[in-house]
Structures are given as C-alpha cells and as structure tokens.
Amino acid sequence: NARYLKDYLPSDFSINTIDLTFELDDNKTKVTSVMSISKNTSEANKIILNGEQLKLIAVYYNDTALNASEYQVDDDSLSFLIKDNECTVKIVTEIDPENNTSLEGLFKSGGAFCTQCEAEGFRRITYYLDRPDVMAKFTTKVIADKNLYPYLLSNGNKIDSGDLNNNRHFVTWEDPFLKPCYLFALVAGDFDLLQDSYKTTSGRDVRLEIFVDKGNKTKAHHAMASLKHSMRWDEDTFGLEYDLDIYMIVAVDFFNMGAMENKGLNVFNSKFVLADKETATDTDYFNVEAVIAHEYFHNWTGNRVTCRDWFQLSLKEGLTVFRDQQFSADMHSAAVTRIKNVRVMRAQQFSEDAGPMSHPIRPEKVVEMNNFYTLTVYEKGSEVIRMLHTLLGKDKFRQGLDLYFQRFDGQAVTCDDFVTAMADAAKIDLILFKRWYSQSGTPIVKVEESFNTNSGEYQINLSQLTLPTKDQATKYALHIPIAIELINNEGTQSHLLELKSDNQQWRFSGFHEKPTLGFLANFSAPVKVDFEQSNSDLAIIMTSAKDKFLRWDAGQKLFSNTISQIITDTNYQIPAELIDILATQLCDNSDPALIAEQFTLPNFHELVEQFKPINPIKLVDALDKLKLFIAKGLEKQLLSIYQALADKPYLNNAQSIGDRALKNMSLSYLVLLPEHHDLVKRQYLTSDNMTDALAALQSSATQTVESFDAMMASFEQRWENTTLVMDKWFSLQAAYKGSNIFERLKNLTEHSLFSLKNPNRARSLIGAFAQNNSRYFHCETGRGYQFLADQICSLNAINPQVASRLITALIQYQDFDEYRQNLMKSQLERIAILPNLSKDLKEKLDAAL
C-alpha cells in the first residue's frame, strides 16, 4: 500500500466543476455532488474515485441512476465506466460527523460543523478524484438548522441564501478559482464575529472576518492585526496581493494541526487565534501572528500555485514556512527569530533526519500522507529555500519568485519547477543544488584551519559527509552555502563559501595573526558542524562577531562543551572562567530578548542529537549541574536583573516582551537556590499576565518548591472554564519533577477535564510529558515509556494522526543507551500487535522495528 514518486501519472479524467449540497445533520449528513467530468485521453474509460467511511446512497450518470451491477464500491473507492468524452455524474452519500473523532473530513468541533481535507480528507466527504492536480470550480450549498447554525460558510463568494422548511436555512458559495479538493472547506455554527477590512495596493476592498466561540471576541484582535500586517508585508516584500473580496478565519477547539489554508476560509486551531494578556503568553502572541501569516501566505504559495502530487508538499510548505519566518524576523528581533528556528532544527529535525522515518524534503515513498507533515518537509524545506535566498541574494530571489508565478499561476507543479524558475531568473546553475530535494540526512561539515605566520595566509579546509540513513544507503556531496566571519583586531571580514564537493580549501591572505573563525553565520545551511574551538576563541566570537546568531551560537557551544565534560568526567570541575565569560553578556542591555536566549542552555533534545547514543539521565543530571553552577556563580547579577525588571508594568511591545524574557530567564536560575523560592510565589500572586504567571509555575514544577501544588490549585480554580489555559495547566503538571509523577499522571488522565478526543488536550498532557519531562520519561523502570504507549494504544482508535505524532518519542530509540532502547522497543512491539492498528502507526512501526 505504499505509493512512490516515480510512479506518478497524470489523471485520465478532469473534473471541471463540482456542485456540492450539504444537508447537515449530526449523524446523517447527506452530501450531493454533481460533477462535470471530461476525459483527458481517448483510452480512458473506467473512473476510480476515492472514498472512505462513506455510505453510498446513489450514483447517476448523465441523469440516469446506475444500478449496483454498473459500479463497484469497496472500502476506499467507487468505480464505473465513463462512456462519453464529457459527462455529468451525480453522487449521493451519507456521513456521520459527530462520530468522526479522527477530525479528518467533516466533523463536529464543540457545537460547530467543520472540515479538514488536507491531505486526503475530502474522500471522507464524497467520492472524488482526491489528488491535488485535479482542479475544479467549486459551488457549495450548505443547509442546516437556523438557530443552531446561523453561520453557514464555504470557500469563495456568497451568491445566494434563504429560508427553507423545518426552521432550516441555506447559503450558497461559489469559488471563482480552480482548486484541488484539499482546499475545500465548510463551517456551520454559531459564533462571535470580529469584522474589519483591508484595502490592497491596487485598490481591492477586502472584508476580513474572524469567527470565534461566543464570548471570545476580544481575544481575536491580535489575530486580526496580524492578518493585516501579513497582507501588507506580502505586498511590500513580494508584490503579492489578496484576490477575493472576503477572507474568513474560523477558530475551533478540535483540530489536529495548527491551521489550514482553505481558499478564502481558513480553519484554525483556536490556540493560534485567541490571545489576550491574561490568557496568552508572549510566545503565544508570537505564534498566533506567525500562523496567521503562514496561512495567509499560502494563498499564493499553495493555492494559486499548488502541488502536482503530495510528494511535492515542500513546494508549498517549505516556501511558506520560509516566508512566515522572514515575516516574523521583520516584525521582531531578527536574531532571536532566527535562533528559535535553529533550535527547532537542531532539537527535532536533525533527529527525525537520522531516525527510522528519515526522508528527503521531497519524500519518495509514502504510505500515509499525514505522516509526512514533518519537520523535514516544513522546517528543513524552509532551510533549503533560505539557502536559495542566500545564494541568489534578495533581489534575484524576488525575480525568481516573480518568474515562478508568471509561469505557474493556476497550476499544480513540482519542486523541480520551482528551482528551475529560480535558476532561470538568476541565470545560475542549480543542478547540484537540487540534490537537497532528493537526499535525506544531515550533512556533517568538518572544519580544519591553518595559519602561516610568515606569509600571513589563513587556510580553511572543509569536508562534508552525510551518514547513511534508513531510507538511503548512499549519499553524495551537496551544494552548501557557508557564511563565515574572520574576526581579528583589524576588522572583521564576512565571506560566503560554496562547498560543492567532498573536500575544498579556501585561502585568505594579509593577516598579521590568525583570525578567529566564526563558522556558519546565521545558520546558512542545515548542517552539523565538526569543529573544535577553544573556549577563548568562543569567547572572542561571543563578544566580537558581527552576526548575532554567531555570538549566540558560540555561547551554546561553550555550554555543550562543558556538558560533555561533565558527562565524561565525574570529577570534572566546571572552570570559574565560564562565569566570567557569561557575566560579560549580562552587561550588554541593548537586546534583552537576545540575552535571554544566550542564557538559555541548549535543551535536552539538542544535546541528545550531539551526544547520542547517550544515557538520558546522565544528560539530565549534567544539565542540572551546569544550571546550578551558573545560578550560584551569577546569583548577585541575576538577582539584580530580576529585581530591576520585576515590577515593570505589562506592555505589549518589543521592549516589554524582551524585559519579561530576561526577567523570567533570571528567575529560572534563581529558583534553583532555595533562598529565592519566595520569588516565584510572589511573581505568581502579583502577575497580571500569563507570561509571568506561567514562568513562575514553570520554574517551580519540581518537588523542591513546596508552593507548586498550591499555586496549581489556584490556577485551576481560576481557569477551569478556559480551554487553552487548562491545556497549559496540564502541560505544567506533566513537566513536574518529582518521584510521584506517575501517580499524578494517572490522576490527570482521570481528571474531569481530560479527554483524548481533543488533540490539544491530549498533547498538553502526553506530549508535554514525553518532551519536557526527560528525567521521568526516561526513568530506569520504563514506566515513562509504558505510560506513553498506553495512551497511544487508546488514541489509535480515536485519532490516528495524533497517535502517530506522539509515537515519535519512542521510535527515536536509537538516540539512547542499549538498556533504554530495549525498553522502548518492547513498548513499540506492544503497540504493533494492536487489533485495528492504523495505517499511520503501522507505517512508523514498520520503519522502526
């Protein structure tokens, strides 16, 4: 049941128009689809439509009902003969939205009906050619009870509406743009509506509408402002304007992913829409803005130009992530935004790329498409686009994108088409570069340097190596852009090196003494670096590099070198000079958010990636030890920073956000010293915003801070009716560092507000435990793994997509010591024998076991 990129064939049939009618009902929704179909080749005769979990009521061919002998229907298809070059097919199906807990196709979220069709959910609504290169004009009539569902929404423009019998009403929508069915959407419900408008540069007036649960309207203003900023930014940066008269966003509580870019009608996980200072953190505000931008940007990179097939997913996702990252960098501190991107790559994408599900950004083999909405396709995909941006420069990149739209607007195309447009516009050769699309794994770039004191010549030797991965035994050299700085007293030089073969040298002359090499400025390529640098060189980079990313990265390297020493040598004394180097960073008060990043240690997952295979408990101990050492060494300075910032009023601007980040970073160290425990309690009690309240609780989620449970009880009482805040409460509980964590987890799964049916809630407890509670997830008894496996077994039947995401923490067992590998594998084996194991889990288990 695997599909391969190499087997792609164009469709035998086109569907030119589809008229849909939905008679909404919780358990028996009737869907009538009328399609005009034409043959693409004269040989075509049998059409095979995709369909799953549908009850077929009737099929008509040119108005004549087919009898059962004239069509074949099975679990995933409906097929029949098409005799004419052009014909009309009408299909009536019935579906059960209320019992659709997979949240794919048409389902109920709270009291509302809504859809999720990407990647292959439309086939759970009606029989169709469910593939992105089949593009049709959609007209949708929605019929439902008038009181329960006052708003009936779909893609495009509203062309008709009216009342019907039995207290029902209808609305008809027409989308003028051809689109694949994965961009179809329908929403019906009762909402609060926030309205606004936007005028594009060329003068189009666009109505902006955000639909949220009743009572949440004041929490939609940030999303609205973000939408308008995104629209402006895309016009200013890429000359791209919106193309309909209305843009709608609906926020729902039950959603598998972040959001969905359906044409003219985005559906969002409410977590990426709702924000106010009492309930959302600064990070939440940042993420809402980024996801709103991402979905908006898809209107061009995804909708106007879409993917030929799902193997090309990164065509739209890598490019759109790159666009949203650039937008965020322009709206905030560019350096801090970049640092956040890089942490995700190093902590998560690198291990995916080395694990059993390793795949290129353009996968070649897929069993369940939902398994390929990955960090590789999205984040590494974005890094690949960023490398093009670096190689071409901003202006040529813009010309390349212009050419791409000129060539492909309205079409379903490939990653290759994109890169070719870039190469043609910039008049450069990107043949070798294209290998990034077909090769999986993370290249390791090894750096050797030498200096000739007599000639003043400095030489760099680079070699690249990509280790074999599960999916590909043989690897080749890639085209890697490497930005460097040569730092010396006479002024720093910046260069861009293009590494294109296994080994290459570069020489730079005119130095009086050996310069200090700042390597991979701005993380110019998604690679690992093998380069030993002394602490004194790192200290020079930390204070003197021009690129802020390089400064931060040198600090991270210093931390990971120290942690490595702590792990390998039990008698290792952390040198006091570390404190002196760090202290210098605290003095620079120009960018408090950057200082906060500089003092944030590389996280557990980033370090696992550097030291694997590793005993995870040794790593957790080493991290704790280093953190305590820093807390003691800088206690006075951190306390004075904390006190200077503690009582500043809340504002929603960059300075205030940065101040909070710095303050809460300080608190996270100070809380390690028992004499400062009162600070967290005080901050929790006096805070008027979620950022500070949550930081206080996060800093105290350990059994050594006695006030934690009392604070959590008051938090629960205050927020029990606010879904998104209770997700935070469950996550805090899951991260609790105390030996009774497993009793606590058991009680939490039995909590009246816990449910596996809500993906956010499931992830807030189970995902947060596996991700953020490494000491207990990896505990020696194996109970952590068992807890996760138990939950995955339950989720398998409820929501395969969510189950399949959560299994990541177990399938990457190769990162850990043999004892733990065996514990993890035995849990995987237990999942593998589940009756009715979903396709999603099966694909991953087959790869991992």
Task: State the residues that interact with ligand ARG by CB under 6 A.
Answer: 118-119, 256-261, 294-295, 317, 370, 373
| Long-range contacts at 162-171 (CB < 8 A, ≥ 24 apart) | 168/143, 168/144, 169/143, 169/144, 170/141, 170/142, 170/143, 170/144, 171/141, 171/142
Give the nearer residue to ligand ARG in terms of CB position, either 262 or 516.
Answer: 262
Other C-beta atoms closer than 10 Å to the C-beta of 832 total 15
Nearest to 106, CA basis, from 154, 29, 114, 98? 114
Using the contact rule CB under 5 A, the part of the chain among 149-157, 310-318, 518-526, 678-686 near Zn ion is 310-318
Give the nearer residue to Zn ion in terms of CB position, either 320 or 664.
Answer: 320
Sequential DSSP letters for 758-822:
SHHHHIIIIIHHHHH-HHHHT-TTSHHHHHHHHHHHHHHHH-HHHHHHHTHHHHTGGGB-HHHHH
Please give the Cα distance from 673 to 629 (Å, whole number): 10
Tell me how far, at minimum, the Cβ of 704 lies from Zn ion, in Å.
42
Please choose which of Zn ion, ligand ARG, none residue 379 contacts, taking the beta carbon within 5 to 8 angstroms, the exact cut-off set by kind.
Answer: none
For residue 40, what are the CA distances in angstroms to 80, 134, 271, 464, 632?
16, 11, 43, 47, 73
For residue 447, what are the CA distances in angstroms to 345, 457, 529, 530, 568?
21, 17, 7, 6, 24
Nearest to 485, CA basis, from 551, 560, 391, 539? 551
To the query of whether residue 513 is one of the catalytic residues in this protein, the response is no
> How many residues in the shown chain lie near Zn ion by CB under 5 A?
2
Run of H or E residues at 748: helix 741-749
Give the nearer residue to ligand ARG in terms of CB position, either 256 or 838.
Answer: 256
Written as one letter, the residue type at 210 is I
Pairing state of beta strands 306-307 and 412-413? parallel
Tell me: cis bond preceding 613? Omega within 30 of 0 counts.
Answer: yes
Give the nearer residue to ligand ARG in terms of CB position, either 294 or 362.
Answer: 294
Please give the Cα distance from 248 to 153 (Å, whole number): 9
Give the nearer residue to ligand ARG in terms of CB position, either 102 or 399.
Answer: 102
Using the contact rule CB under 5 A, the part of the chain among 87-95, 196-204, 313-321, 576-584 near Zn ion is 313-321
Cβ burial, residue 713 (10 Å; 0-12/13-18/19+): exposed
Tell me: cis bond preceding 734? Omega within 30 of 0 counts.
Answer: no
Tokens of 527: 């690679």
Contacts of residue 769, defined as CB under 8 A and 6 or more positions apart, other chains included, come to 734, 735, 745, 776, 777, 784, 787, 788
Contacts of residue 752, defined as CB under 8 A and 6 or more positions apart, other chains included, come to none
Give the nearer residue to ligand ARG in terms of CB position, either 383 or 609.
Answer: 383
Tell me how far, at minimum, the Cβ of 383 lies from ligand ARG, in Å.
16
Mapping DSSP to helix (H, G, I), strand (E, B) and coil, where does residue 250 land? strand
Task: Enter the DSSP assignment of 220.
Answer: G
Please choose which of Zn ion, ligand ARG, none residue 373 contacts, taking the beta carbon within 5 to 8 angstroms, the exact cut-off set by kind.
Answer: ligand ARG
Strand segments, DSSP code E, in 40-134 are 46-50, 55-61, 64-65, 71-74, 77-81, 86-95, 105-109, 112-116
Please give the Cα distance from 419 to 479 (Å, whole number): 14
Tell me how far, at minimum, the Cβ of 481 lies from Zn ion, in Å.
25
Tell me how far, at minimum, the Cβ of 183 lies from Zn ion, in Å.
12
Please choose which of Zn ion, ligand ARG, none residue 118 contacts, taking the beta carbon within 5 to 8 angstroms, the exact cut-off set by kind.
Answer: ligand ARG
Written as one letter, the residue type at 784 is G
Using the contact rule CB under 5 A, the part of the chain among 173-181, 314-322, 512-520, 634-642 near Zn ion is 314-322
Tell me how far, at minimum, the Cβ of 716 lies from ligand ARG, in Å.
32
Give the nearer residue to ligand ARG in terms of CB position, either 259 or 711.
Answer: 259
Tell me how far, at minimum, the Cβ of 180 lies from ligand ARG, in Å.
12
Tell me how far, at minimum, the Cβ of 320 lies from Zn ion, in Å.
5
Q: Which of 104, 118, 295, 597 is catalytic?
A: 295
Please choose which of Zn ion, ligand ARG, none residue 257 contacts, taking the beta carbon within 5 to 8 angstroms, the exact cut-off set by kind.
Answer: ligand ARG
Tell me how far, at minimum, the Cβ of 317 lies from ligand ARG, in Å.
6
- The residue nearest ligand ARG at its CB is 373
Please give the Cα distance from 173 to 21 (Å, whole number): 10
Nearest to 680, CA basis, from 660, 694, 690? 694
Tell me how far, at minimum, the Cβ of 256 lies from ligand ARG, in Å.
6
Task: Enter the DSSP assignment of 485.
Answer: E
Please give the Cα distance from 356 to 374 (Å, whole number): 13
Give the nearer residue to ligand ARG in terms of CB position, either 118 or 417.
Answer: 118
Contacts of residue 388, defined as CB under 8 A and 6 or more positions apart, other chains included, come to 397, 400, 419, 422, 430, 433
Among positions 320-349, residues that touch Zn ion (CB under 5 A) are 320
Give the nearer residue to ligand ARG in terms of CB position, either 371 or 700.
Answer: 371
Tell me how far, at minimum, the Cβ of 831 lies from ligand ARG, in Å.
21
Contact criterion met (CB below 8 Å) for 737 and 773: yes
Contact criterion met (CB below 8 Å) for 94 and 29: yes
Sequential DSSP letters for 646-703:
HTPPP-SSHHHHHHHHHHHHHHHHHTTSGGGHHHHHHHHHH--SHHHHHHHHHHT-BT
Tell me how far, at minimum, the Cβ of 796 lies from ligand ARG, in Å.
17
Contact criterion met (CB below 8 Å) for 204 and 242: yes
Tell me how far, at minimum, the Cβ of 260 lies from ligand ARG, in Å.
5
Contact criterion met (CB below 8 Å) for 350 and 395: no
Give the nearer residue to ligand ARG in terms of CB position, either 259 or 342.
Answer: 259
Give the nearer residue to Zn ion in terms of CB position, either 61 or 373.
Answer: 373
Give the nearer residue to Zn ion in terms of CB position, either 213 or 317.
Answer: 317
Give the nearer residue to Zn ion in terms of CB position, either 320 or 771.
Answer: 320
Tokens of 270: 């409410």
Residues in the chain: 849
Tell me how far, at minimum, the Cβ of 269 lies from Zn ion, in Å.
13
Please choose which of ligand ARG, Zn ion, none residue 260 contacts, taking the beta carbon within 5 to 8 angstroms, the exact cut-off set by kind.
Answer: ligand ARG
Q: Which residues are catalytic?
A: 295
Q: Which residues of the chain form contacts with Zn ion (CB under 5 A)?
A: 317, 320
